[in-house]
Amino acid sequence: MRTDMTDSFILKKLAEMANNNDPINPDLYTKYDVKRGLRNANGTGVLVGLTRIGDVVGYEMKDGEKIAIPGKLIYRGYNVEDLINDAEINNQFGYEQCAYLLLFGELPNKNQLSAFSDFLGECRVLPPNFTEDMIMKAPSNDIMNKIARGVLASYSYDKNPEDRSVENIIRQCIELIARFSTLAAYGYQAKRRYYDDKSMFIHNPKPELSTAENFLRLIRSDKTYTKLEAELLDLALILHAEHGGGNNSSLTVHVVSSADTDTYSAIAAAVGSLKGRRHGGANICVVEMMDDIKSNVKDWSNENEITQYLTKIAKKEAFDHSGLIYGMGHAVYTISDPREILLKKKAKELAQEKGLLNEYQLYDIIEKVAPNIIANVHNSTKNICANVDFYSGFVYSMLNIPRELYTPIFAISRVAGWSAHIIEEAVSGGRIYRPAYKNISEERPFIPLMERK
């Protein structure tokens, strides 16, 4: 008779076998010049494709050497800072314009932007019975998994899911961009009801509202939000919408799309990638670390006390004993992450409005002292700066957004970039991704079943 105990024992033994058989000597990666993580020895990414969508600039190459420069984020040739300034000057939410630019490669005029925003608004409502059948009947404790399931379920509600024409892919992508905020919000409400034993509020999205406004409306019982709150969330959406073709989830879109599969399969795969704690889930690591720091540092304004505790974290003597100070460092940005600079500025405004400047000051001090601590403890000469994840969690907490929605917000934004990459792969791809893996095991003589011990 099988029991949970015997199942546990069997799984433990199988895990031991996997651990014993699968480790690979790290020296072999050097011997065979393996580009681990698709990165060259100098830290630059292995060139596997070309794109017109976005660019992440953190260094220049001179005579084969990486020269660090202040970071820049470029969408379709335009500095993202200009997109944000344009939205502020015109007193409008900018994510919709950003999505238009990423999808179609050009900045919209007023009429084009209005028509595109209206189309997004019309598409925010989920198909008939979708909420009841696909969300409420199968709630998930993790909203990212719920979004991925919602994306795959959308295939069944599409009258033309397998058409690979660019026109049809664009239609599918626009519908997904519009509905991601609804999928996330409704998934969260179902989670509240079935996992947290709390009340569930299902509000209808309003077509005239922006993506940021609709999301805040859908997750709050009273449907209210301030203008500054919506503006700050809109800023976060713009900053997370695209980050070049080399980030893990965008690469996932290219890899899966190159197999000539449907749009929903590619986007769902990207959601799974973004969920990872080394990718979009990193902002959760930051807020968990900050909880620990706030509990162990008595004076949040005392730089020496903060430095001492961060040193313990870096030495693996505190927090999760990983030795990592989360929110510090980036694969490309070294001197500065432009997203972090722009988000930090708005974060201070909201901290003043919410009476949380003391907590903002704690973040500011950590950002100041952490790079030197990391350099000293880990004996590193690499330039390190705070990345966007360092402040995003703080911003979302000031917006009273539950933590389980931090990474889904990233997905709500990044689906615009993913969509652009799907279209780019459809137009300019044409070849399935097939990198090489070297087999380092030896051939062995086969042992018939009855002769095995």
pLDDT one-digit tens code per residue, 224-256: 999 999 999 999 999 999 999 899 999 999 999
pLDDT-derived band at 405 (thresholds 50, 70, 90) equals very high
Of 149, 226, 238, 191, the closest CA to residue 399 belongs to: 226
pLDDT for res 5:
63
pLDDT for res 13:
85
pLDDT-derived band at 44 (thresholds 50, 70, 90) equals confident
For the chain, the residue count is: 453
Helix (H, G, I), strand (E, B) or coil at 105: coil
How far apart, in whole angstroms, are the C-alpha atoms of residue 178 and residue 198? Answer: 27
Range in 15-29, 178-192, 354-368, 406-420 the model is least confident about: 15-29
Range in 60-64, 116-120, 289-293, 422-426 the model is least confident about: 60-64
Mean pLDDT confidence for 78-86:
97
- Convert the pLDDT of each residue in 281-292 to its tens digit: 989 999 999 999
DSSP of 150-193, one letter per residue? HHHHHGGG-SSTT---HHHHHHHHHHHHHHHHHHHHHHHHHHHH
Q: Taking 90 as the threshold, does the pLDDT of residue 20 lie above it?
A: no
Helix (H, G, I), strand (E, B) or coil at 450: helix
- Convert the pLDDT of each residue in 159-209 to its tens digit: 999 999 999 999 999 999 999 999 999 999 999 999 999 999 999 999 999
Mean pLDDT confidence for 217-222:
97
Mean pLDDT of the chain: 95
Helix (H, G, I), strand (E, B) or coil at 204: coil
Across the beta sheet with 54-62, the strand order is: 54-62, 65-75, 78-79
pLDDT for res 41:
86
pLDDT for res 3:
64
How far apart, in whole angstroms, are the C-alpha atoms of residue 313 and residue 322? Answer: 8
- Convert the pLDDT of each residue in 284-319 to its tens digit: 999 999 999 999 999 999 999 999 999 999 999 999
Mean pLDDT confidence for 40-57:
92
pLDDT for res 1:
55
Of 262, 228, 374, 268, the closest CA to residue 311 belongs to: 374
Mean pLDDT confidence for 421-427:
97
CA dihedral sign, ordered 284, 243, 185, 214: positive
Q: Taking 90 as the threshold, does the pLDDT of residue 22 lie above it?
A: no
End-to-end CA distance of the chain: 25
pLDDT for res 430:
87
pLDDT for res 417:
98
pLDDT for res 2:
61
406's enclosing H/E stretch is helix 406-428
Q: What is the CA radius of gyration of the chain?
A: 24
User: What are the distances in angstroms from CA 318 to CA 289, 299, 326, 374?
Assistant: 10, 18, 13, 14
Mean pLDDT confidence for 320-344:
95
What pTM was computed for the model? 0.94
Are 264 and 161 in contact by the 8 Å Cβ rule? The answer is: yes
Residue 406 token pair: 């931090």
